[in-house]
C-alpha cells in the first residue's frame, strides 16, 4: 500500500515535471524584453558588477573548450575555474592539428553562440525546456571540475537555475531566461576586447589567440578579429530574434 502511494506520488511529480518542461509559453510583454536587455547591459558594462557576473561567461567559455575537445576526439582531463574569472581546460591528444585548433577556437565565441541558440529557443516559447537543458549540462561539466572554487561556481549556478525552473511562475521564468540570453549575447563580446587590451600590454602571451597563431602561423590578431566577428554577429542575430517583433515592419 505504502509502496503504491510512493510510486503514485513519484509518477505524478514526474508527469508534472515533463508537462511543465515541454509547455509552450507566450512571448513576454515588450517591457520585459527591453528591461532584461538593459539590465544585461548593466551587468556587463558596470565593471564592479562585471567582476562577479563574468564567472558565468567563464563557465560557458571553458564548457566550449571541453565540448569541442571531446567532439574532436581529444581526452578531457579537467576544468578549473578561478576566483579572478579566469579558467583552464586541459585535454590530452595531439598538440597540433585541426582538433587542437578547434578546441582553442571554441572558448571565446562559446557564450555568444550559446546565447544565439538560446534566443532561437525562446522564439519557440519553450523557456522551461531551455532551463532544463542547462540543469542537465551543468552537472556533466561538474564531473570534470578539478578545484573547489569551480565546484562552488557550478553548484551555485545550478541551484539558481533550478530554483527559477521549479519554484517560480512562468512569467518569472520568462524574464530570467530573457535576461540570461541577453547577458550571454552581450557578455560574449566584452572578453574579446579585454583579451585585445591584455595582449597589447603583453600580459597574455599564452592566450587562446596566441596559441592558435603558433599552430596555424596566422597572426594572433587575426584570431582576435575572428572572435570579435563571431561574437558581434551572434549579438546582432540573437538580438534580432529576441526583439524582432518590437521593430517596425
pLDDT digits 0-9 by tens, 59-114: 999 999 999 999 999 999 999 999 999 999 999 999 999 999 999 999 999 999 99
pLDDT of residue 233: 98
- pTM assigned to the model: 0.91
Three cell numbers written together for 195? 583579451
Regions of the chain short of the pLDDT cut 50: 14
pLDDT of residue 18: 57
Within a 13 Å sphere around the CA of 114, how many CA atoms are in the beta-carbon half?
Answer: 30
> Distance (Å, rounded) from C-alpha 133 to C-alpha 130?
5
pLDDT of residue 249: 56
pLDDT digits 0-9 by tens, 136-147: 999 999 999 999
| 56 within 8 A of 153, measured Cβ to Cβ | no
Cell 550571454: give the residue.
184
Three cell numbers written together for 22? 515541454
SS3 145: strand
> Distance (Å, rounded) from C-alpha 198 to C-alpha 207?
9
SS3 188: coil
Domain range list for the chain = 49-246
Amino acid at each position: 500500500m505504502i509502496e503504491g502511494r510512493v510510486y503514485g506520488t513519484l509518477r505524478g511529480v514526474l508527469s508534472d515535471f515533463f508537462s511543465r518542461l515541454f509547455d509552450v509559453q507566450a512571448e513576454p510583454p515588450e517591457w520585459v524584453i527591453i528591461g532584461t536587455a538593459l539590465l544585461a547591459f548593466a551587468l556587463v558594462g558596470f565593471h564592479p558588477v562585471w567582476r562577479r557576473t563574468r564567472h558565468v561567461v567563464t563557465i560557458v567559455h571553458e564548457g566550449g573548450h571541453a565540448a569541442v575537445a571531446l567532439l574532436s576526439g581529444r581526452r578531457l582531463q579537467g576544468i578549473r575555474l578561478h576566483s579572478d574569472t579566469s579558467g583552464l581546460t586541459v585535454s590530452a591528444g595531439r598538440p597540433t592539428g585541426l582538433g587542437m585548433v578547434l578546441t582553442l577556437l571554441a572558448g571565446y565565441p562559446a557564450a555568444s553562440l550559446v546565447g544565439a541558440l538560446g534566443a532561437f529557443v525562446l522564439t519557440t516559447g519553450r523557456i522551461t525546456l531551455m532551463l532544463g537543458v542547462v540543469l542537465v549540462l551543468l552537472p556533466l561539466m561538474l564531473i570534470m571540475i578539478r578545484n573547489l572554487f569551480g565546484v562552488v561556481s557550478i553548484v551555485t549556478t545550478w541551484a539558481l537555475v533550478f530554483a527559477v525552473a521549479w519554484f517560480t511562475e512562468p512569467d518569472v521564468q520568462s524574464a530570467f531566461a530573457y535576461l540570461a540570453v541577453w547577458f550571454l549575447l552581450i557578455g560574449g563580446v566584452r572578453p574579446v576586447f579585454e583579451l585585445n587590451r591584455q595582449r597589447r600590454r603583453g600580459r597574455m602571451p599564452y592566450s587562446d589567440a596566441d596559441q592558435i597563431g603558433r599552430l596555424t602561423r596566422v597572426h594572433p590578431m587575426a584570431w582576435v578579429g575572428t572572435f570579435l566577428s563571431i561574437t558581434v554577429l551572434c549579438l546582432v542575430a540573437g538580438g534580432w530574434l529576441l526583439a524582432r517583433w518590437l521593430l517596425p515592419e
